[in-house]
Amino acid sequence: MSRRGTGVLVAAVVGLGVLVAGAGVSHALQPGEVLSDSKLEQRARGISLGLRCLVCQNQSIDDSDAQVAQDLRRVVRQRLVAGDSDAEVRAYIVDRYGDFVLLKPPFNARTLLLWLGPVIVLLCGGALVLWGRRRARAGTPALSAAEQAELQKLLDDRERRI
């Protein structure tokens, strides 16, 4: 293949990669939901990116097409237009849906298990592995000198037959 053909192929692959990477980023925000005040809209987008879609669960409400996400986006914008601060809007949503609605829930007594759960599971798993190894080691008795000699004799006999 010529240098020019290789260059075209590389450019095509890079272009396809850019298209595929960009395809994963989609914002579900509908044109009718956008506020005319760009500063309020920017605040609304910032808040929306931190709120979890209750249906999709791993998407922000800004990225989700679910009806609940659309409703939450609408509520966020209504509260901002009404004059609420960003913290007041988040508090309003959390009061209704709990900390679960936050993509990054706070570290407090109610979310302690959520934050520490993976560490606890990892520690318990490690403890089980160590316990199992110690138990297996303790369950294998050491051979006496006579048993070792008998085992060696059996192995030697087997070697001669092969």
Residues 70 and 125 in one domain: no
The two structure tokens encoding residue 126: 């490690």
Residues 57 and 124 in one domain: no
Classify residue 17: in a domain, yes or no.
no
* 91: nearest Cα among 103, 102, 81, 107: 102
Residues 83 and 121 in one domain: no
More confident call, 7 vs 39: 39
Q: What percent of the chain has pLDDT over 90?
A: 44
State which residues form the domain around 32: 26-106
- CATH number of the domain where residue 57 is located: 1.10.8.640
* Cα 129 versus chain centre, distance: 26
pLDDT at 58 over 80: yes
The two structure tokens encoding residue 141: 């008795």
**Res. 25 pLDDT band, cuts 50 70 90:** very low
Average pLDDT, the chain: 82
More confident call, 44 vs 111: 44
**Res. 28 pLDDT band, cuts 50 70 90:** low
Residues 102 and 144 in one domain: no
Residues 45 and 72 in one domain: yes
Tokens 């986006």 appear where? 73
Residues 63 and 49 in one domain: yes
pLDDT tens for 98-149 read: 888 999 888 888 888 878 899 999 999 999 999 988 888 777 677 888 998 9
* 33: nearest Cα among 73, 82, 85, 62: 73
Instruction: Output the CA torsion 75→84→39→46 (10° steps).
Output: -60
Phi, psi at 2, each rounded to 5°: -75, 165
| Cα–Cα distance list, 116 to 32, 57, 113, 145 (Å) | 41, 20, 5, 51
Classify residue 75: in a domain, yes or no.
yes
Q: Tell me the one-letter amino acid at 16.
A: L
**Residue that finishes a domain, picked among 86, 106, 126:** 106
Residues 31 and 97 in one domain: yes
Classify residue 84: in a domain, yes or no.
yes
Q: What is the pTM (predicted TM-score) of this model?
A: 0.56
Residues 117 and 101 in one domain: no
The two structure tokens encoding residue 118: 């993976």
| Cα–Cα distance list, 50 to 62, 102, 146 (Å) | 9, 6, 71
Q: How many domains does the chain have?
A: 2
Residues 117 and 148 in one domain: yes
**Residue that finishes a domain, picked among 87, 106, 125:** 106
Classify residue 138: in a domain, yes or no.
yes
